[in-house]
Amino acid sequence: MPFSRRRLYALFASLGTAGGLASPALAQSRPTRPARRPPLPLVVLDPGHGGRDPGTIGARTGVHEKVITLAAAQELRRQLEGSGRCRVLLTRNRDIFIPLDERVAIARRRQAALFISLHADSAPGARGASVYTLNGNATDAMSAALARRENNADRAGGLNLPPVSPEVARILISLVQAETREGSDRLARMAVTSLGETVPLLPNTHRQAGFAVLKAPDIPSVLVEMGFLSDPRDEAALRRPDHRARVAAALSRGVQAYLAATPTATG
């Protein structure tokens, strides 16, 4: 029988509450709700940085990344909610510091269908948008350096794994992670396609690196670097509401394409 993310999720959740892989826990994991329309899938948007962590600083105007990411997330929320196809939650809706592991925990507590972290990068000579998925081995030196910078926002926290034996946890995690990785890659591909219709892209736009904020084992997650604040053209564009609305529209199209192609991604 093929694994569905929902089934694995139920199993995972039951282990979290029942504390073991005994058969009563498995029995409890069976869905007990009557067949009725499930709620719309929940998309968690994560505006990078915040509070005492400004993120990267704009080369020309000194704008803080944390301001750009929040404005972009609020615009994307408006557009996604307008589509009527999903619910949206922001990990922060104001200028506050939230540790990376807490951002992941918010999405997991609410059983999010998708997690999208929004950022703006900094690197000499680079410009354009890029989309990252999780991989322990970064695909190139720049991706590795970026992951280090983003992870240094605080120390990468551990996940709230259920109290089962390490062997059982490892097996479950690998099953769920395989599905999640597939979902993350699919979402990244769709986001890259729709972004490419709208804004300049970094070459090899879909990259992989060890971002702590992408480590939910059970929620397809991507990190979008909307552009480079070290590039004056990207910086000027990202400060403009109309440009952020175009980026948000592209991401909204990507999310909707993903949800349409993934009927199990319910909330």
Chain residues binding Zn ion by CB under 5 A are: 48, 55, 119
Q: Which is nearer to Zn ion, 55 or 128 (CB)?
A: 55
Give me the least distance between CB of 147 and Zn ion, in Å please: 10
Query: Which residue's CB atom is positioned nearest to Zn ion?
Result: 119
Least Cβ distance, residue 55 to Zn ion (angstroms): 4
Residue 57 pairs in a beta bridge with: 64
Closest CA to 72 of 62, 80, 60: 80
Between residues 5 and 119, which has the closer beta carbon with respect to Zn ion?
A: 119
- The least distance separating Zn ion from the CB of residue 122, rounded to whole angstroms, comes to 8
- Specify the DSSP element, H or E, that contains 192: helix 166-196
Closest CB 141 distance from Zn ion, rounded Å = 18
Q: Are 52 and 96 in contact (CB under 8 A)?
A: no
Please list, in sequence order, all residues whose beta carbon lies within 8 angstroms of the beta carbon of residue 55, skipping any fewer than 6 positions away.
48, 49, 64, 65, 66, 69, 119, 120, 153
The angle, 0 to 180 degrees and rounded to 10, between the axes of the packed helices 5-18 and 166-196 is 140
Residue 114 sits at the vertex; the CA angle it makes with 141 and 54, to the nearest 5 degrees, is 55
Question: By C-beta, is 50 or 55 nearer to Zn ion?
Answer: 55
We find the least distance from the C-beta atom of residue 245 to Zn ion, in angstroms, to be 20
Written as six digits, the tokens of 175 are 């099953």
On whether the CB atoms of residues 255 and 86 are closer than 8 A, the answer is yes
**Shorter beta-carbon distance to Zn ion: residue 48 or 217:** 48
Backbone φ, ψ for residue 10 (5° rounding): -60, -40
Residue with tokens 């199990």: 264
Using the minimum distance from each CB to Zn ion, give the nearer residue, 52 or 109: 52
Q: How far is the CB of 89 from Zn ion (least distance, A)?
A: 20
C-beta closer to Zn ion: residue 213 or 216: 213
Q: Nearest 5°: CA angle at 202, between 200 and 203? A: 120
